[in-house]
Homo-oligomer: A and B are copies of this chain.
Amino acid sequence: MTTANTMHPFDEAIQLTPQGDHYRGQTSAKYANMVGPFGGVTAATLLRAVMDHPKCQGEPLALTVNFAAPVADGAFDLVPKLIRTNRSTQHWSMELLQNDQIAATATALFATRRETWSATEAQFPDLSNLGEGVAMPATGLPVWVNRYDVRTLRGHLGLSATAQETASDTVTQQWIRDEPPRVMDFCSLTAIADAFFPRIFIKRKQAVPAGTVSLTVYFHADAATLTAHGTQPVLGYARANRFYNNYFDQIAELWTPDGALLATTTQVVYYKE
């Protein structure tokens, strides 16, 4: 048995090979989207390029990824640039290149935390009367969806070819974990932050053309907390604020079952109709 055979598909997908001052990655068919790879894995790979870098200090605090062009199936290059190292923070910029063209840019902020007064203001979502949730259908969806165990409590993907009415809101609440189970880390948390369907699918009950153009993730936990969380699912809570002439935003929280807010995330999404 080789290491490759026992590797989790997510670890395979975000695997990088150092190439002098940059890294070489490869899209994974197991995380294919309708066109190219699932953007959450692309974002995770950009973060990974910094975490693998010998000059990296601290743990991820904030990540913004801008999807400038479709990533084609195949190899890509990641170029991390160390902007500045301060006493407790470190700033990075990254570019993802294919055929010498930039397909994505990103910035990341890393930090070394010290223990301080702490408090959570956001409320763990009310799950009463929502039951155990509905499993995501295995067919008719992009391949990457099968890499997650999703149980939707509210705001499931109910597409209709003849939808005339919009949904009353865009809220989704779902339990989600890697499939097969995998111990949580910053990379998998990043991918899960992008694993909500575009809110316009929920609102309009139709799969109109849509794609994330910019994604920001704030991490509210340290590596030890994520390791302790282990393979448990996280509760995702997502909703939109405004749909306006080709673009909408969506915002989400990711919680542990016992009420620790691991990450908040926001993204702006293109839509066509």
Q: Which residues of A contact B (CB under 8 A)?
A: 61-62, 64, 66, 68-69, 83-84, 86, 88-89, 91, 93, 101-102, 105, 107, 109, 111, 113-122, 166, 169-170, 199, 203-204, 213-214, 216, 218, 220-222, 239-247, 249, 251, 253, 261, 264, 266, 268, 270-273
Contact A69 B93, beta carbon cutoff 8 Å: no
Contact A107 B246, beta carbon cutoff 8 Å: no
Q: How many chain copies does the complex carry?
A: 2
Instruction: Beyond A62-B66, A68-B86, list 10 extra A-B contacts (CB 8 Å).
Output: A68-B91, A69-B86, A84-B101, A111-B247, A116-B271, A116-B272, A118-B243, A119-B242, A222-B245, A251-B266
Top 8 nearest A-B pairs (CB, nearest first) are A113-B245, A122-B241, A68-B91, A68-B84, A64-B64, A220-B242, A62-B214, A242-B261
Contact A121 B242, beta carbon cutoff 8 Å: yes
Quote the shortest CB–CB distance from A98 to chain B (angstroms): 12
- DSSP majority for the A interface? strand
**Given A89-B270, A268-B62, do A241 and B261 touch, yes or no (CB 8 Å)?**
yes
Contact A218 B88, beta carbon cutoff 8 Å: no
Contact A117 B273, beta carbon cutoff 8 Å: yes
**Given A118-B244, A220-B242, A245-B114, do A214 and B86 touch, yes or no (CB 8 Å)?**
no
